[in-house]
Amino acid sequence: MQIQDLPNGAKWVPKYLDRTEQEALVEEIRQIAKESPLFIPKMPKTGKPMSVRMTNCGPLGWVTTKERGYRYQATHPETGKPWPEIPKVLLDLWKTLADYPHQPQACLVNFYESSAKMGLHQDKDEEDFAAPVISISLGDTCLFRIGGESRRDPTKSFKLESGDIMLLTGKSRMAFHGVDRIYPGTSTLLKQEGRINLTLRRVGGSGV
């Protein structure tokens, strides 16, 4: 395993998952999306739809609506059902990489079509910032951008490929980050063009 250090303590592990592991994980995500369909998240206040589609697994899921903004909840906003469990392979991955004594509580599943992107933002809807955020990329390559704790801090961009892991830990836990673009057709992992990103997170205080 080759870990590359990025500014502010962020870590990038290229090709952490091999092709077979990626295929198995995509199959698990397909099952999750069957039970817990992808939905189109809406920006708070404006109600503008985001370009990614999302779902979750784990005890809690991240959702956003025009009326109630960003939050974590135990049920799917459309079906009202609890989110499916986090696949074991992801719990194992967290155990290996997170350096944190408790399991993740939320796994956000983002699906990017070829034209989707995600603006610069901080992950700050959690109460527990001691735990890292671990992100896993599957499918087409994307251009990922990461800066510092202020929106005005300089940013660095690099390409995340299928199987790559990114760890937002230490100071980088609160770093602004986003996805500027997808490079369609750069991976054959998914049946269609696009990219899946999974983010594992702790939401509440330790012991929850």
Residues that bind Fe ion (CB under 5 A): 123
182 contributes a contact to ligand SIN by CB under 6 A: no
Report the partner that residue 110 touches, choosing among ligand SIN, Fe ion, none (CB closer than 5 to 8 A by kind).
ligand SIN
d(C-alpha 205, C-alpha 107), whole Å: 17
In this complex, which beta carbon is closest to ligand SIN, that of residue 59 or of residue 139?
139
Bridge partners, residue 54, by sequence: 39, 110
Contact between 199 and ligand SIN per CB under 6 A:
yes
Dmax over CA atoms of the chain, in Å, equals 44
Which of ligand SIN, Fe ion, none binds 197 (CB below 5-8 Å, type-dependent)? ligand SIN
Output the smallest distance, CB 42 to Fe ion, in A.
17
Judge whether 165 and 16 are in contact, CB under 8 Å: yes
Q: How many residues bind ligand SIN (CB under 6 A)?
A: 8
Residue 16 makes contact with ligand SIN by CB under 6 A:
no
Rounded Cα–Cα distance for residues 34 and 177 (Å): 29
82 or 117: whose CB is closer to Fe ion?
117
The encoded tokens of residue 58 equal 């784990």
Q: Judge residue 183's burial from the number of C-beta atoms within 10 Å of its C-beta, 0-12 exposed, 13-18 middle, 19 or more buried.
A: middle
Binding partner selected for residue 134 from ligand SIN, Fe ion, none, CB under the kind-specific 5 to 8 Å limit? none
Q: Is 144 in the site for ligand SIN (CB under 6 A)?
A: yes
Is the torsion defined by CA of 186, 178, 46, 129 positive or negative? positive
Query: Can you give the binding site for ligand SIN, defined by CB under 6 A?
Result: 110, 118, 135, 144, 177, 179, 197, 199
